[in-house]
């Protein structure tokens, strides 16, 4: 287990701001201001509050992961990636299930927006492999992909790397296999994190923060264990303590 400082641990945490409007999201962000953690803006917040909430979080000094899991034809995803790049997020994602051409188009969209001078920085682009709520049974019997979850995840990770993306979203249980297939520098962002004693909820392939870091995860996405806590700042603090043991 690498020994992490508190700042290093905080910079690995992406808090899922799954809130219904900008006011609720920004009130929560305020409680976590200055901790060094990232903010993850997903569908619930973005569809309600739009780009302005992302700009507001950036202006408050947060790094932002825009989690919209784009999955469309390559031309549409290229345009979406250009727009997201102009918005100035630090990281966004597309679905690995969209295939190589779609993932490459996302990377191209980023390059086009930067080359046009529309963005100061190129965001990192990562691919969703299999949702952390997807169990082995769901993968085989509903989605219709045969074999083990880990094999399906590693296949998408390799495709994402070939397409020029910088990493993947996966379960912390799959990090070792992804790193061994794609290299240690290939970024892993892992939801499905549950501190000891927390509700599993709808997640399926889960791990504690300590074990996730020990397993080589680069970034831990944590939602309800922080956002639904009576005192979110204290919940984050307890997680940081757990990670820096």
Q: Is 136 left (phi over 0), alpha (psi -120 to 50) or beta?
A: alpha
User: Which residue, 203, 136, 216, is CA-closest to 177?
Assistant: 216
What's the min distance (Å) between Cβ of 3 and ligand C5P? 25
Radius of gyration of the chain (CA): 17
Q: Exactly one of 223, 232, 236, 243 binds ligand C5P (CB under 6 A); which one? A: 223
Does position 167 interact with ligand C5P (CB under 6 A)? The reply is: no
- Residues 164, 186: contact at Cβ < 8 Å? no
- Comparing CB distances to ligand C5P, the nearer of 172 and 191 is 191
Instruction: State both tokens at 34.
Output: 């200055």
**Minimum CB separation from ligand C5P for residue 67, in Å?**
6
Question: Between residues 18 and 150, which has the closer beta carbon with respect to ligand C5P?
Answer: 18
In the complex with ligand C5P, the residue whose CB is nearer, 203 or 208, is 203
Residue closer to ligand C5P by CB (options 42, 123) is 42
Q: How far apart are the first and last CA of the chain?
A: 10
C-alpha dihedral, 28 to 48 to 118 to 74, nearest 10°: 120
Burial of 221 (0-12, 13-18, 19+ CB in 10 A): buried
Question: From the list 25, 221, 236, 243, which residue makes contact with ligand C5P (rule: CB under 6 A)?
Answer: 221
| Single residue of 11, 210, 224, 237 touching ligand C5P by CB under 6 A | 224
What token pair was written down for 160? 């994402």
Q: Please report whether residue 150 would count as binding ligand C5P according to CB under 6 A.
A: no
Residue 164 or 201 with smaller CB distance to ligand C5P: 201
Residue 19 token pair: 């809130």
| C-alpha torsion 223→159→205→234, nearest 10 | -20
> In the complex with ligand C5P, which residue's Cβ is closer, 15 or 119?
15
Q: Does 239 bind ligand C5P (CB under 6 A)?
A: no
User: In the range 177-216, which residues lie near ligand C5P by CB under 6 A?
Assistant: 191, 201, 203
Binding mask of the shown chain, residues 68 to 107, with x at each position contacting ligand C5P by CB under 6 A: ----------------------------------------
What amino acid positions are annotated as catalytic residues?
69
Residue 173 touches ligand C5P, criterion: CB under 6 A: no
Alpha-carbon span 118 to 95, nearest angstrom: 25
Residue of 222, 235, 239, 240 that binds ligand C5P (CB under 6 A): 222
Alpha-carbon separation of residue 192 from 1, 68, 173 (angstroms) = 20, 17, 9
Decide if residue 16 touches ligand C5P (CB under 6 A).
yes
**Interface residues toward ligand C5P, by CB under 6 A:** 16, 18, 42, 67, 128, 131-132, 169, 191, 201, 203, 221-224
């Amino acid at each position: 287990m690498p020994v992490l400082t508190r700042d290093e641990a905080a910079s690995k945490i992406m808090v899922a701001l799954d809130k219904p409007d900008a006011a609720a999201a920004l009130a929560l962000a305020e409680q976590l201001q200055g901790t060094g953690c990232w903010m993850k803006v997903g569908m619930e917040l973005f569809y309600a509050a739009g780009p302005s909430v992302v700009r507001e979080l950036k202006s408050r000094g947060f790094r932002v992961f825009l989690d919209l899991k784009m999955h469309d034809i390559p031309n549409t995803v290229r345009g979406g990636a250009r727009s997201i790049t102009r918005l100035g997020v630090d990281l966004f994602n597309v679905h690995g299930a969209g295939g190589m051409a779609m993932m490459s188009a996302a990377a191209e969209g980023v390059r086009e927006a930067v080359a046009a001078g529309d963005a100061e920085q190129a965001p990192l682009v990562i691919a969703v492999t299999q949702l952390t709520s997807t169990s082995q049974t769901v993968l085989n019997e509903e989605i219709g992909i045969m074999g083990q979850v880990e094999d399906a995840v590693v296949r998408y990770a390799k495709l994402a790397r070939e397409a020029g993306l910088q990493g993947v979203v996966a379960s912390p249980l799959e990090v070792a296999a992804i790193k061994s297939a794609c290299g240690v520098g290939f970024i892993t962002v892992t939801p499905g994190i549950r501190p000891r004693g927390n509700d599993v909820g709808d997640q399926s392939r889960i791990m504690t923060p300590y074990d996730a870091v020990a397993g080589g995860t680069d970034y831990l996405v944590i939602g309800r264990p922080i956002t639904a806590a009576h005192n979110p700042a204290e919940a984050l603090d307890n997680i940081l303590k757990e990670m820096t043991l």
